[in-house]
Amino acid sequence: MKKIVVIGGGIVGCLSAINLKEKGFQVSILDQSEIGQESSSAAAGILFPLLPWDYDDSIYQLCINSDRSYEALSKRLIEETGCDPEFKKSGMLLKQKIDRQGMSEWSKKNQFNVEERKVGDDSYFYFPDVCQISPSKLMKALKKLMVNLKIEIIENFKLTPIKSQHKTIIEWPSENNQSIGADFYVLATGAWTGLIHQDFLGNIYPVRGQMIQFKKNDIELPHIIYGDNSYVLQQKDGAILAGSTRENVGFSRVINPEAINILQKKARSLVPKLENIELDKHWTGFRPGTNENLPYIMKDNFYENLFINSGHYRYGLTMAPESANRITKLIMQESI
Ligand SMILES: Cc1cc2nc3c(=O)[nH]c(=O)nc-3n(C[C@H](O)[C@H](O)[C@H](O)COP(=O)(O)OP(=O)(O)OC[C@H]3O[C@@H](n4cnc5c(N)ncnc54)[C@H](O)[C@@H]3O)c2cc1C
C-alpha cells in the first residue's frame, strides 16, 4: 500500500487526507501545532464566495456543490463521531450596492436562487440557499473522524524548508532532527507554504483576518447579513459573529484595537439591535493569500512525488471539498 504524508492539518489537509485514505492509501497527517488550530478554525464558516460574479468563473467552479458536500459530511460526522459541526442553510441578505447585471447573469448561468426583498424603503437581494457551518466544531469533528479511519495524526511536528536536490523526496526532515518518509507528499500548509517551499514565497502569503463575537443575547438573526464588505452571522448555538479584516501584516498576531472597533461599528450598522451588546471575544487567522484568489492544486514542478494543495485565500473552507477531490485524482493518476 502506497504511503502519503499530508503536511498541514487545516481543512484542506484534513479533507485531502480523508479522501486519500478512502481511496486505499496509507495516510499520515502532520502539523507544526495541533490539527485545525489555524485559519480553518478562525473562519466565519460561510460556504459561499461572497460576491462570486466579481470573480473569475474558475473560483466558483471550486465552490460549486460545497454546500451539498458539507451537508453530507455533517451527517456523517454526527453519526460517526458524535460531534455536530452545526451545518445550516441560513440564507444571506446582501445589503450592499452590487453589479446588478453581473449578479443576474451569474445567478441565471449557475441556476442559483436569488430573490429581491424589501426592507423598509430599501430593496436588497436575498440568496436563500447560502449555507454555513461552525469551523472550530468542524475541525474538532474531523480530527475524531480521522482517528476512527486510522489516519495517523502527528502533531507538534514542524517540517523544515525543502532543500533536496533529488527529484524524489525520500525523507522530509523536521525541526526536531527527525524526518518522515513517504511515497507521496501533499503540501497543505496554507499561509506558510512559501516558508516551506521556496517556489511559493510571494505567491502564497498571509493575509490576516480578525473576527469578533458578541456576548450572549436574545437576538435572533434569520440569515447572514452582508454589507459594507463585512458580515454578521449567527451560529446554531446562538453566538453572533462578525468579520472580518484583511491585513497585510505578515504573521503578526498583535491585535489591532482600531480594526476591532471598525468591525463592531459595521456589525451594529448591519444589525442595529447589537448596539448595546458588548464583545465576548475576538480572534485572528492567516488566510493563505494569492493574487487571483485561486489556490495551487498541482503536481510540483520539480519534485515528482510532491503535490501542492495550498493558497485558498478567502474561501478555503468552501473550496476544500472540491480541492480534496482534485488533488486525490492527480495523485491517483501518478500512482497507477
Ligand atoms: C477571519 C477569517 C474568516 C474566514 N472566513 C471564511 C469563510 O467564511 N468561508 C470560507 O470558505 N473561508 C473563510 N476563510 C478562509 C479559510 O479559513 C482559509 O482559506 C482556509 O482555512 C485555508 O485552509 P488551509 O487548510 O489551507 O490552511 P490552515 O487552516 O491555516 O492550515 C494550514 C496548516 O499547516 C500547518 N503548517 C504550516 N507550516 C507547517 C510546517 N512547516 N510543518 C507542519 N505543519 C505546518 C499550520 O500549522 C496549519 O495548521 C476565512 C479566513 C479568516 C482568517
Q: What is the CATH classification number for the domain harbouring 186?
A: 3.50.50.60
Range of the structural domain that residue 42 is part of: 1-88+132-204+290-336
164 inside domain: yes
Q: Which stretch of DSSP H or E encloses residue 283? A: strand 279-289
pLDDT at 335 over 90: no
Q: Residue 58: inside a domain, yes or no?
A: yes
pLDDT band at 4 (very low <50, low <70, confident <90, very high): very high
Residues 6+ apart with CB under 8 A from 175: 158, 159, 160
In the predicted structure, residue 256 carries a pLDDT above the cut 90: no
Q: Give me ligand 1 centre to Cα 303, in Å.
A: 24
249 is a domain residue: no
Four-residue CA torsion sign, 19, 21, 23, 26? positive
Residue 60 lies in a domain: yes
Report the percent of the chain where pLDDT is more than 90: 93
- Ligand 1 neighbours, Cβ below 6 Å, are 7-13, 30-33, 37-40, 42-46, 158-159, 188-192, 196, 209, 211, 243-244, 285, 287-288, 310, 312-318
Please check whether residue 29 lies inside any domain of the structure.
yes
Quote the Cα angle for 164-167-171, to 5°.
Answer: 50
**Is the whole-model pTM more than 0.85?**
yes
**207: its cell numbers:** 493575509
User: What mean pLDDT value characterizes the chain?
Assistant: 96
Total number of domains in the chain: 1
**Residue 284 located in a structural domain:** no
Is 104 among the domain residues? Answer: no
Mean local confidence (pLDDT), 75-83: 98
